[in-house]
C-alpha cells in the first residue's frame, strides 16, 4: 500500500468512527438506517442523556410529567414509522385489525391492536432470526421523539395542522378537518405513515396520527435521575404515547403521557418497534 492510499484509508476509518458518536440533536445519515425482510425501516438512535417530562410552565402539562434526568445508556434502532397494515399482513397473514370500511391502504398504520397483539407480532419478528425486537420503553420513546429538543414538540412550542395529524374528528375535535380535506387526507381517520416531515433523527409521526404502545406499565416517574428506566414492575395499564388524529393538539406533546388496558383495541391505537443494537 503506497503512502497516498494509506492516508485515504486512515481518513475513511476516522470518519467512520466519528459517525458512531453522533450527538443528540444531530441528524442521522442514511447509512445508519436499514430495512428488514418485512419492509420495516429502522434508524439508529444514539445513546445520551435528556430531561424527561415537562417544565412547570408548559401549556396543558399534567402533574405526572415530573421533569427528571434520564440516561439512555445504549444506542438502539427504532422503526421510522408506525407498523403499517402491509407489514402486519406480511408477517401475521390474514389477521387484520382496525380496517375502516373505506381505504385499506397498506401504508396506513395498523390499529385496533392490543398490547398483547403487538407482543405477538414482535414474537414472530424475533422468530425470523434477524435481530432482537421489542416495544420501546416510555423513556426511549420520549428521548427519540425529542431528538435533542427540549420544547413541547420536537420543532418548537406550537403545532399546526400541516405538521402532524391531530384534531381530525368531525364530531369531537375538528380543528384540522378542513385543512386535511384540502390536502386530500381522510376525515375521521388516521392517514398514511410518513405523510408529514420527520424529526431530526428521521422518525415520522412521533406527534399524532395514532397512539403508540410502549413496553412500560403506567406509574409515577422516579424521584431522581434514572438510567434506562422501564417503569414499575407491575400495574393495570400500559403506557401509550404520541397523541392521535382523534383529539387535541396538546395530547401530541413530547412529554404527554397516556395509558390503556393492555387488552384494549382502539381505532386510534397502534405501535412501532425497537430493534436492539448489537
pLDDT score, position 20: 34
State percent of the chain over pLDDT 70. 85
Write the pLDDT tens digit of every residue in 214-261. Answer: 999 999 999 899 999 999 999 999 999 999 999 999 999 999 999 999
- Count of other CB atoms within 10 angstroms of residue 174: 14
Pairing of β 238-241 and β 258-260: antiparallel
Least confident of 2-11, 102-111, 233-242: 2-11
CB proximity list for 9: less than 8 A, separation 6 or greater? 1
Q: Are 249 and 56 in contact (CB under 8 A)?
A: no
pLDDT band at 23 (very low <50, low <70, confident <90, very high): very low
pLDDT score, position 95: 60
What three-state secondary structure class fits 200? coil
- The residue assigned the cell 398490547 is 115
Mean pLDDT score of the chain:
89
Q: Are 274 and 76 in contact (CB under 8 A)?
A: yes
d(CA 147, CA 227): 18
pLDDT band at 12 (very low <50, low <70, confident <90, very high): very low
CB proximity list for 239: less than 8 A, separation 6 or greater? 138, 213, 214, 215, 216, 217, 218, 231, 257, 258, 259
Between 16 and 64, name the one with better pLDDT.
64
Residue 6 has pLDDT above 60, yes or no: no
H helix or E strand, kind and range, residue 146 = helix 138-146
d(CA 195, CA 108): 10
Cell of 58: 408548559
> DSSP assignment, residue 254?
T
Q: Are 137 and 231 in contact (CB under 8 A)?
A: yes
Write the pLDDT tens digit of every residue in 118-127. Answer: 999 999 999 9
What is the pTM (predicted TM-score) of this model?
0.87
What residue ranges do the domains of the chain occupy? 26-276
pLDDT score, position 214: 98
Could you tell me the fold of the domain covering 26-276? 3.90.1580
Residue 171 has pLDDT above 60, yes or no: yes
Residue 79 has pLDDT above 60, yes or no: yes
pLDDT band at 105 (very low <50, low <70, confident <90, very high): confident
State the average pLDDT over residues 53-82. 97
What three-state secondary structure class fits 48? strand
Of 130, 104, 154, which Cα lies nearest the Cα of 40?
130
Write the pLDDT tens digit of every residue in 189-223. Answer: 999 999 999 999 999 999 999 999 999 999 999 98
Residue 100 has pLDDT above 90, yes or no: no
Ramachandran class of 102: left when φ > 0, alpha when ψ lies in -120 to 50, beta otherwise: beta
Least confident of 76-85, 98-107, 202-211, 266-275: 98-107
- Count of other CB atoms within 10 angstroms of residue 24: 18
Q: Are 213 and 57 in contact (CB under 8 A)?
A: no
- The residue assigned the cell 391531530 is 166
Amino acid at each position: 500500500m503506497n503512502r497516498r492510499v494509506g492516508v485515504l484509508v486512515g481518513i475513511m476509518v476516522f470518519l467512520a468512527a466519528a459517525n458512531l458518536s453522533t450527538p443528540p440533536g444531530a441528524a442521522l445519515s442514511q447509512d445508519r438506517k436499514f430495512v428488514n425482510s418485512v419492509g420495516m425501516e429502522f434508524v439508529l438512535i444514539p445513546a445520551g442523556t435528556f430531561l424527561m417530562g415537562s417544565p412547570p410552565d408548559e401549556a396543558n402539562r399534567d402533574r405526572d410529567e415530573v421533569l427528571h434526568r434520564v440516561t439512555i445508556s445504549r444506542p438502539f434502532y427504532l422503526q421510522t414509522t408506525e407498523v403499517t397494515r402491509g407489514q402486519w399482513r406480511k408477517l401475521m397473514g390474514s389477521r387484520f385489525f382496525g380496517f375502516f370500511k373505506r381505504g385499506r391502504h397498506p401504508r396506513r398504520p395498523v390499529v385496533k391492536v392490543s398490547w398483547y397483539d403487538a407482543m405477538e407480532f414482535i414474537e414472530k419478528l424475533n422468530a425470523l432470526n434477524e435481530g432482537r425486537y421489542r416495544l420501546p420503553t416510555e423513556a426511549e420513546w420520549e428521548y427519540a421523539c425529542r431528538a435533542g429538543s427540549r420544547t413541547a414538540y420536537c420543532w418548537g412550542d406550537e403545532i399546526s395542522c400541516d405538521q402532524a395529524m391531530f384534531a381530525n374528528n368531525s364530531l369531537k375535535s375538528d380543528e384540522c378537518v378542513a385543512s386535511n380535506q384540502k390536502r386530500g387526507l381522510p376525515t375521521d381517520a388516521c392517514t398514511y405513515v410518513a405523510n408529514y416531515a420527520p424529526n431530526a433523527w428521521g422518525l415520522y409521526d412521533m406527534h399524532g396520527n395514532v397512539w403508540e404502545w410502549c413496553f412500560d406499565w403506567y406509574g409515577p416517574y422516579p424521584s431522581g435521575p434514572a438510567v434506562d428506566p422501564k417503569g414499575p414492575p407491575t400495574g393495570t395499564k400500559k403506557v401509550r404515547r404520541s397523541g392521535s388524529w382523534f383529539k387535541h393538539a396538546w395530547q401530541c406533546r413530547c412529554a404527554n403521557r397516556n395509558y390503556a388496558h393492555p387488552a384494549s383495541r382502539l381505532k386510534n391505537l397502534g405501535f412501532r418497534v425497537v430493534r436492539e443494537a448489537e
